[in-house]
C-alpha cells in the first residue's frame, strides 16, 4: 500500500467530514450487530425461527465488511493512500 511521501495537511472541514463518515460507519455497524443480537435472542426463545433468523444472521457480516471497506476507501482517498 502506498502512503504519501510528504506530510498530509487536512482542513477543519476535511476532518469534520471524516469524523461524520466515521460516526455513520459506527452507527451502521452497530445496527448490523443489533440485528445479530436480536436474531440470537429470538432463537433462544423460538428455536422454530431458525430458518428465518439464519438468513438475518448470514446477511450481517458482509454488510459490516462493506461498511468498513467504504469508509476505508474514503479515508484512503482523503489521505492520498494508494493500493499497490
pLDDT of residue 60: 95
Neighbours of 21 (CB within 10 A): 15
Per-block average pLDDT, block size 10, for the chain (84 residues)?
70 88 92 94 95 92 93 82 71
Q: What was the pLDDT predicted at 15?
A: 86
Give the pLDDT of residue 3. 66
**Residue 84 three-state SS:** coil
Closest CA to 28 of 55, 62, 52, 54: 62
pLDDT at 2: 64
The predicted model scores a pTM of 0.75
How far apart are the C-alpha atoms of 21 and 52, rounded to whole Å?
Answer: 32
Cβ proximity of 79 and 4 under 8 Å: yes
Residue 4 has what pLDDT? 62
Cα 35 to Cα 56: distance, rounded to the nearest angstrom: 7
Amino acid at each position: 500500500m502506498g502512503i504519501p511521501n510528504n506530510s498530509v495537511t487536512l482542513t477543519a472541514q476535511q476532518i469534520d467530514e471524516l469524523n461524520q463518515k466515521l460516526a455513520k460507519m459506527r452507527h451502521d455497524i452497530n445496527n448490523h450487530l443489533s440485528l445479530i443480537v436480536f436474531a440470537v435472542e429470538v432463537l433462544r426463545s423460538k428455536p422454530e425461527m431458525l430458518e428465518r433468523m439464519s438468513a438475518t444472521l448470514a446477511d450481517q457480516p458482509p454488510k459490516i465488511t462493506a461498511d468498513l471497506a467504504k469508509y476505508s476507501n474514503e479515508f484512503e482517498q482523503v489521505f492520498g493512500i494508494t493500493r499497490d
